[in-house]
Amino acid sequence: MAGRGALQLVPMTLDRRIGTELGGYRIVEQLGRGGTSVVYRAEHVRLGRPAALKLLTPALGEADFRERFLRESKLAASLDHPSIVPVYDAGEADGLLYIAMACVEGSDLKTLLLHEGRLPLRRTVRIVAQIASALDAAHARGLVHRDVKPGNILVGGDDRAYLSDFGVVKELASNGTTRTGSFIGTIEYCAPEQIEGRDVDARADVYALACVLYECLVGTPPFHRSSEVAVLNAHLHAAPPKLTRAAPDLPPALEQVVAKALSKSPLDRYGSCGEFVAAARAAAAERRVYRGRLAVSLTLLALAVGLGAVAALAVRSLAFEGGGTSASAPAPPPQPQPSLYELLLRSEDGRTLNDVAFALISAHDYARALPFARKAMAKAPVGSSTRGYATFNVGYALLMLGRCRESLPPLQRALVIEPKPLHRYIKPLVKQAQRCVQRAASARAPTRSAVGPRDPSPGR
């Protein structure tokens, strides 16, 4: 992981802990350092199992630190998820608190970004989605991470991503971290309520995860500033930066998704990390409508509407003049004029209809988008890409309207007719719809759900 570069060789060779034993582990080499911690590659002496051994220096004067550390480590060790670094052991030895966990071969995301710069959208979503799933599983167990950041995301082979540092008490103040009441997190990824020392819940992790996604796509975290005070102030008061200004190649719909996840109030954010990632995936899929084409379609339609109105006016005035009616003739009762939407909806062209549906979905106007998407689905030729995309849009609009049961068939259909590379965007929405249907079904059976056990990991 971080710290294996040539520059680290000097401190590593000077590290007197290398070769010694601690907590039943033999220390092999240094993997990296945090503000108040150092992580070693280690090996269990009796079992020979490789591990990462993290040593912490407890904050002075924190009398109950040790107890809380052990308590939280126990909770962290109880988490069993493919994207959470498994915790093997935690304890105290030689006056140091240690935590032994699985050693992930690869790189942490911070180092990856340092070496590779901005990551492509697909790769970003792939990594963030795994971490989102890990966080949702932890949240279902009542555990908020509070320190989601690239340094705590380990990326192994095939971009398998793991979240680390669950349960390691966050009160340790260090470089890049700040102390506010009982909270600590790295300030670049820190939700406003966390900064203010208010209660935090899963949505603080949603905020931090959105900061991570932004950083992967743009190269710097969203509220990056030259001083810590300025960063904190920006989290509290500055509007989220425009994603598409920082990276114009990204799909415009992604901007609203990031802005929502970065809302100042947790109430305005996505309710879970899974929801956030599903929205990001859908926005990424929307890239397939090109803004230029959309603009041309809408302009043509507006022109058609305008010309139609002019023609109607001309016919009307001709009729009135030709018929010899004078100013004294009674004016005909005003006819209700069709709205622009009604006129647009008269189009018979699947592409145009679908473009309008896309524009409305981008504006979160799902109710208005639905009839356009439906008609687009009916009008687009079977086997065309527009047909597939319109089918997806019907399902997506229905899902966003909370009509999960109805959303399932079109989403499942989209999965059948859309090309394979797009399945990764559609599958999570199908799952989201299925979960929503299940939730609705269990809500209708109050006696069972009132006494039965709660699903411990609805996010999975």
Question: Token digits for 158?
Answer: 């095939």
Binding-site member from 42, 84, 99, 154 for ligand ADP (CB under 6 A): 154
Annotation says 349 is catalytic: no
**Is residue 380 within the footprint of ligand ADP (CB under 6 A)?**
no
Q: Contact, 285 vs 426, CB < 8 A?
A: yes
- Within 10 Å of residue 364's Cβ, how many Cβ atoms? 12
Give the nearest distance from C-beta 143 to ligand ADP in angstroms. 17
What does 344 bind: ligand ADP, Mg ion, none (CB cut-off 5 to 8 Å by kind)? none
Stretch that binds ligand ADP, among 88-96, 99-107, 125-133, 242-250 (CB under 6 A): 99-107
Of the candidates 185, 187, 183, 208, the one whose C-alpha atom is nearest the C-alpha of residue 197 is: 183
Binding-site member from 53, 76, 97, 104 for ligand ADP (CB under 6 A): 104
Mind giving me the DSSP string for 410-456? HHHHHHHHS-GGGHHHHHHHHHHHHHHHHHHHHHT-HHHHHHSPPPS
Residues that bind Mg ion (CB under 5 A): 152, 165
For residues 338 and 75, give the distance between their C-alpha atoms in angstroms, rounded to a whole number.
61
E strand intervals along 183-304: 183-186
Give the nearest distance from C-beta 209 to ligand ADP in angstroms. 15
For residues 408 and 451, give the distance between their C-alpha atoms in angstroms, rounded to a whole number.
29
Give the nearest distance from C-beta 40 to Mg ion in angstroms. 13
Q: Return the residue matching tokens 């305008």.
A: 306
**Is residue 85 within the footprint of ligand ADP (CB under 6 A)?**
yes
**Is residue 204 within the footprint of ligand ADP (CB under 6 A)?**
no
Question: Token digits for 134?
Answer: 């890990």
**Is residue 101 within the footprint of ligand ADP (CB under 6 A)?**
yes
Give the nearest distance from C-beta 81 to Mg ion in angstroms. 17
- Within 10 Å of residue 261's Cβ, how many Cβ atoms? 26
Stretch that binds ligand ADP, among 60-68, 115-123, 146-154, 369-377 (CB under 6 A): 146-154
Q: Which is nearer to ligand ADP, 4 or 403 (CB)?
A: 4
**Is residue 282 within the footprint of ligand ADP (CB under 6 A)?**
no
Collapsing DSSP to helix, strand or coil, 73 comes out as helix
**Is residue 167 within the footprint of ligand ADP (CB under 6 A)?**
no
Give the nearest distance from C-beta 153 to ligand ADP in angstroms. 9
Partners of residue 153 on adjacent β-strands: 163
The residue count for binding ligand ADP (CB under 6 A) is 21
Task: Check 108, 136, 147, 355 and give the catalytic one.
Answer: 147
416 contact partners, CB below 8 Å, separation of at least 6: none
State the Cα angle at 72 between 66 and 76, rounded to 5°: 140
What does 212 bind: Mg ion, ligand ADP, none (CB cut-off 5 to 8 Å by kind)? none
**Is residue 100 within the footprint of ligand ADP (CB under 6 A)?**
no
Q: Contact, 197 vs 188, CB < 8 A?
A: no
- Which residues sit at the interface with ligand ADP, rule CB under 6 A? 1-2, 31-34, 37, 39, 52, 54, 85, 101-104, 108, 151-152, 154, 164-165
Q: Give catalytic residues, as residue numbers.
A: 147
